Structure 1
Amino acid sequence: MARSRAGTARLALIAVLTAALAACSPIVRTHGYAPSEEDLSAIVVGVDTRDTVAEVVGTPSANGVMRDNAWYYVANTWETVGPRAPENVDRQVVAVSFAEDGTVENVERFGLEQGRVIALNRRVTDSNVKGISFLRQLLGNIGNFRAEDVIGPDS
C-alpha cells in the first residue's frame, strides 16, 4: 500500500510539473501587416505607382498609415510568458514613399532594436530619407524620458 501511495504521489508530481511547464510556454501574437521582402522586390522604384503597389502588397490596414507622400505598413510581434506582461519582441515598419507624380520613390524597411529605429533595408532614388521623423514618432522613444525633459532643468 505504501508503494501505491508513492507511485500516486510521483504521478501527481509529474502531472503538476508538466502543467507548470506548459503554462510557461510563450504565447506569440502578431498584429498588423508588413509586406515580405519577396513582395517588396516586385516593386520597381521609379516605375510603379500607388495603384500597382496596392495590387502587389495591398494598402496599409488600420494599423498602418496612408499619407499623400508615403504609405507605412506596421507589424508588431508580442510574446507573453506565464503571468508576465506582454513584451514587444519585434516591430517592422515598411515605408513606401511616392514622388509628386505618384511613382514609387523609396522602399524602406525599419525595425526596432534596443529602443532605436534602424533601417533594415533601403532602396532609394536619392539619399534623403523622407518621413524619418514620423517613423521616430511612430516607433517612439518609450522609456527615454527624464523628468527634466518635462519640467525643465531648474525647476
Structure 2
Amino acid sequence: MTGIGLKLRLGLLTVAFGVLSACTAQYSSHGYVPLEEDLQQVVVGVDTRASVEDLIGVPTISGMANESGYYYIESNVRNFAYRAPEEISREVLAISFDSAGVVSNIERYGLEDGMIVPISRRVTDSSAGDISFIRKLFGNIGGFSAEDLVGASR
C-alpha cells in the first residue's frame, strides 16, 4: 500500500470516528436535591427554616407567596445530536412550613407524579433594549433648538 492510500484511509477512519462520536448522547444534571440520609436529620414539627438551611442547604426556590415552603429541584437532561434537549428525570423535594416557620410536611415529586411544570423566572422587559445604540445616538441629533445652544454659551 502506498503512503497516499494509507493517509487517505487514515483520514476517512478519523472522519468516520468523528461522525460516530457526535451521535452519542450527552447527559447533564442541574440543581440539587439532598440525599435521603441528610433529609432524615430534618424533624417535622421541630425544625425551622434556619435549621433546615443549616442541615441540608439553601433551597433552589423558596415559596414566593407568604413564604410557604422550600423547594429543592434536580433534573437530568439528555442532548442527542440535532434533537432538542429532553428532560429524562426531575425530582422536587418540597418542605412546607406552618405560620410559625416550623416544618409541617416533607414531600418528594418526580416526572411520574404528574405534569411537567416548566421552571421559569420572571424578568421585567424594558423597551430600551429594543433600540440599538446607533439609533439612540442619532436620535438625539435634531433634538436641539437654537435656544438650547444660546443658553448653554451664557
- State TM-score, norm by structure 1: 0.63
One-letter identity of the residue aligned with 2:10? L
Question: Does residue 86 in structure 1 map to residue 85 in structure 2?
Answer: yes
Trace 1:134-145 onto structure 2 (pairs within 5 A). 139-140=116-117
Give me the identity figure in percent.
38
Any stretches of 5+ residues in structure 1 without a counterpart?
118-135, 142-155
Q: In the comparison of the two structures, how many residue pairs are matched?
A: 116
Question: Does residue 37 in structure 1 map to residue 14 in structure 2?
Answer: no
Q: Which residue is equivalent to 2:62?
A: 65
Q: Distance in 2 between matches of 1:26 and 1:38?
A: 31
Task: Assess if the C-alpha contact under 8 Å between 1:66 and 1:72 holds in 2.
Answer: yes
- State TM-score, norm by structure 2: 0.64
Higher relative helix content = 2
Q: Which residue is equivalent to 1:125?
A: none
1:105 deviation in Å? Answer: 1.5
SS in 2 for 1:8: helix
Q: Write out per-residue CA displacement over residues 28-52 of structure 1, whole angstroms, 9 at most, x where no aligned residue.
A: 2222222222221211122211111
| RMSD (CA atoms) | 2.2
Any stretches of 5+ residues in structure 2 without a counterpart?
119-154
Task: Assess if the C-alpha contact under 8 Å between 1:24 and 1:82 holds in 2.
Answer: yes
Task: Assess if the C-alpha contact under 8 Å between 1:60 and 1:66 holds in 2.
Answer: no
Q: Which residue is equivalent to 2:141?
A: none
Q: Which residue is equivalent to 2:105?
A: 106
One-letter identity of the residue aligned with 1:50? R
